[in-house]
A and B are shown apart, each in its own frame.
Chain A
Amino acid sequence: MEYKTSAASAAGADDSARRRFLKLASTAAAASVLPVGVGAAAPAQPGYDVVVVGGGFAGVTAARELAHRGARVLLLEARNRLGGRTFHANFGERKVELGGTWIHYTQPHVWAEVMRYGMEIAETPGVAHPDRVLWMSEGKVLEIPVMENWALLEDALKRFHAEAGEVFERPFMAGLSAAGRKLDHLSIADRMAAMDMSPAQRDLMNAMMATNCHGPIASGAYTEMLRWWSLVDGDAARLLYSCARYKLKDGTSTLIERMAEDGGFDVRLSTAVVELSQDAAGVSLVTEADERISARFAVVAVPVNTAGQIEFSPPLRPGKTAMAKEHHAGKGHKLYLKVKGRLETLIFFAPETELFTMVFTDQPGEDGGVLVAFGPPVDGRVDLNDPKAVEPFVRRFLPHLAVEQVLGYDWGLDPYSRGTWCTLRPGQFGKHLEDLRAREGRVFFAGADIATGWRGFIDGAIESGLQVGQAVAAELRGRA
């Protein structure tokens, strides 16, 4: 495996050197037939081998892999920053992750980047070692010792995921098995309805699952949760830790900047693509500013919810256009709450009928601290930008706290995301995923939304970027 990789790099490097030589030669040839002075006034426009659309972790990974193999790569990003659905932003004096945050050593692709670049890791205390766990059930706040609460949740999780072994022989399988197809119509809510649970256990489980799919549990597919369970080998603690324990100490932006610096590809920010067409010779893109850019291949690494904003010619496969209309289930909110009053290291849950389903300590403190809160979409019913609108919920758990400031990022309103992390809706896995992942001629697709393993996670974005980078590199070698 190692041998193949290095051989491929070497071939890429030779190839690149040859192309550079050819380019120089052709420039010289062209100059020789042009009138004196014209060549200098109109330098040859460098042709790109690959244009990558989208500068999240998937696009940046694909661009880096291709550039490292000697391809000339241009990455176009619509926002004025790299990172996609990760965003390390100012919250007063400190910085917080408004989007994707957590990584774990169960996630091989992102952890390889952590090791490669020597990134430092920090822990989220409320998940790593909570001193208290509380949850709301039937309108009342309950609290039992942490390990008793955990036993209740673990029991529900184990029974809920009982079919994981037959659906996923092992994790990181691209397709859905026959057993999975039989269950793919089920929502998380459908499967939970078939379980025997006390109201307290049911509400705890609802809170956990509504957080996982970032929406009502009727909107997330059961098969998606089985996929998660398969990734953690059926270990409930590892599931929770994989989702919210470890993060990059200096922020996701630091990792993506390291990857981009290391990449050796061109980046253009604030450049939204509106059209993408292809023919036998290559791809042609039109930007929002009506600029035309061409290349031999394209990698489209945008969220599946946003694919409808680019006009593709010829049109995309049905699964891609369907997802651009249907969207995945991830539509909820994530807020940071700066609170006044003693904040312990804790976690609390509430069912999806409440404003938040999972809230935990990001930073404890004697006089105040910061909580991270997740909840299903509120559809304008509550003003999430108003600390006073959010405070009553927090006070039901911790009556002594005042919410002073709130900060979130409305990923649903952002035209370049139209949602948060991807959890497919019932039926979408079996119906659309193959189409979503499929290349279309000279256009390849990447993204956390279409990863096989940690779909919806930073790891999934990198997994997908690596695979597509490799696939396009093979094409370039074949045609050089």
Chain B
Amino acid sequence: MSRSVPLRAVVAILGVLAVPAPALAADIGESGFVQCAACHPAAAGQPHGVGPNLHGRFGQAIAGTPGFVFSRALRKREGVWTEAELDRWLADPQAYAPGTKMAYAGLKDPAQRRAVIEYLKTLR
């Protein structure tokens, strides 16, 4: 009981601090998303492009977007698009899924990746 109060307080403080940070990151992410947007639509209901529509995909199954034909390489990956999975994927797609048809060498800057992931989370 005595431990739960400070913990709740910490969570509350973190919450206050954390709210603006991802919002800011998402703005930067929208700018970083320019490189993704050449191939990926992001508005709800838009047909797939060279890559699948990314609306609402955060937290969903990897290579699970209905109506898009994924590479065998990416279909082999199991699980869902968490922050950690997205971070590894975006850093080096060819290493994450060797043979992927996503023709992108990777977003090498961790802060930029973080920002793009925050932006992807807003697409819902």
Answer whether A80 and B48 are a contact pair too, CB < 8 Å, given A385-B105, A413-B104.
yes
Write out the residue numbers on chain A whose beta carbons fall within 8 Å of the beta carbon of B72.
Answer: 288
Which residue of chain B has the shortest Cβ distance to A417 in the bound complex?
B103
Q: Residue A289 contacts which of B35, B37, B69, B94 (CB distance < 8 angstroms)?
A: B69
Asked if A409 and B103 sit within 8 Å, CB to CB, the answer is yes
Write out the residue numbers on chain B whose beta carbons fall within 8 Å of the beta carbon of A439.
Answer: none
Answer whether A380 and B103 are a contact pair too, CB < 8 Å, given A289-B69, A385-B35.
no
Chain A binder among B9-17, B18-26, B106-114: B106-114
In the assembled complex, the Cα of A98 lies from the Cα of B69 at a distance in Å of: 22
Asked if B103 and A405 sit within 8 Å, CB to CB, the answer is no
Asked if A405 and B94 sit within 8 Å, CB to CB, the answer is no
Which residue of chain A has the shortest Cβ distance to B109 in the bound complex?
A386
Q: Is B39 an interface residue (CB 8 A)?
A: yes
Residue with the highest number of chain A CB atoms closer than 10 Å, among B48, B50, B109: B50
Write out the residue numbers on chain A whose beta carbons fall within 8 Å of the beta carbon of B99.
Answer: 415
Write out the residue numbers on chain B whose beta carbons fall within 8 Å of the beta carbon of A81.
Answer: 49-50
Write out the residue numbers on chain B whose beta carbons fall within 8 Å of the beta carbon of A411.
Answer: 103
Closest Cβ–Cβ distance, residue A323 to chain B (whole Å): 21
Q: Residue B37 contacts which of A78, A90, A98, A380 (CB distance < 8 angstroms)?
A: A90
In the assembled complex, the Cα of A78 lies from the Cα of B48 at a distance in Å of: 14
Asked if B108 and A385 sit within 8 Å, CB to CB, the answer is yes
**Interface hits, A63-103 → B, CB 8 Å:** 78-81, 87, 89-92, 98
Closest Cβ–Cβ distance, residue B53 to chain A (whole Å): 11
Answer whether A413 and B105 are a contact pair too, CB < 8 Å, given A80-B69, A91-B34.
yes
Classify the secondary structure of B's interface with A.
loop
Asked if A407 and B101 sit within 8 Å, CB to CB, the answer is no
Question: Which B residues lie at the A interface, using CB under 8 A?
Answer: 31, 34-35, 37-39, 48-51, 68-69, 71-72, 94, 99, 101, 103-109, 112
Question: Which A residues lie at the B interface, using CB under 8 A?
Answer: 78-81, 87, 89-92, 98, 270-271, 288-289, 380, 383-386, 405-407, 409-411, 413-417
23 contacts between A and B (CB under 8 A): A80-B48, A80-B51, A81-B49, A81-B50, A87-B38, A87-B50, A91-B38, A92-B37, A98-B38, A270-B68, A270-B69, A271-B69, A289-B69, A383-B105, A384-B105, A385-B107, A386-B108, A386-B112, A405-B34, A407-B38, A409-B38, A414-B103, A415-B101
